[in-house]
Amino acid sequence: MKTEIHVGNSSIKIDGELEEVKAILSDYWKPIAEKANANVKHVVEAPEGKPTEKPNKPRKRRKSLPKKAVSSSDDSGSQLDATDLSNQIKVRSDFSAIKKKILDVKGQWKEKCILVAVVADAPISSGDVKRVMDELRIKSSLPTLSRTLKNNSSEFLTQGGPNNSTLYTVIDTAKSEFLEWLEKANDE
């Protein structure tokens, strides 16, 4: 067994059996190491000739901080009830067209946002749309919904909301175009 130890300007190399190495270290090196009170590294020569470093002291584990619970009311400060909105969508007479043209189609984020705004008939945030989509079991991401609302702001009136959010209200022309488009889908 080969061992090499460095502490400050002092170093020692030992080649021998494990018991010999222990005896030499305890008799001669231990007093020097205690005086130096430095971080001691052992380098053990591996059979392939590659040295591997071993720290003398065990590493301390970092304590993980407890995760904070996030309530749904903290997301955007909106008072819209996602469960109620999703139920209103499900009981609409044109739900089959909504399901076929919007909910079952991958993407269609603009239409999904307008749908929520029309059903809510109130200012909405991207967080409101996200919660309604979650209630409808549709995978969505908040950044995508936020980007969609921002990029289609010509379809909405915007106003500042709580917690630095933006609230969107669908304009009448966009609402009527959406409902006509949906009605055509319902007739097909």
Domain ranges, ordered by start, for the chain: 2-55, 76-187
Say what the pTM is: 0.58
The DSSP call for residue 106 is S
Q: How far apart are CA 11 and CA 13, in angstroms?
A: 7
Per-residue pLDDT band at 20 (split at 50, 70, 90): confident
Q: How far apart are CA 101 and CA 185, in angstroms?
A: 7
Q: How far apart are CA 56 and CA 24, in angstroms?
A: 17
Q: How far apart are CA 101 and CA 105, in angstroms?
A: 6
Residue with tokens 């749904």: 72
User: What is the identity of the amino acid at 115?
Assistant: L
CATH of domain 76-187: 1.10.10.10
Q: What is the average pLDDT value for the chain, to the nearest integer?
A: 79
Asked if the model's pLDDT at residue 16 lies above 60, the reply is yes
The DSSP call for residue 49 is S
> How far lies 137's CA from each of 63, 180, 181, in Å?
36, 26, 24
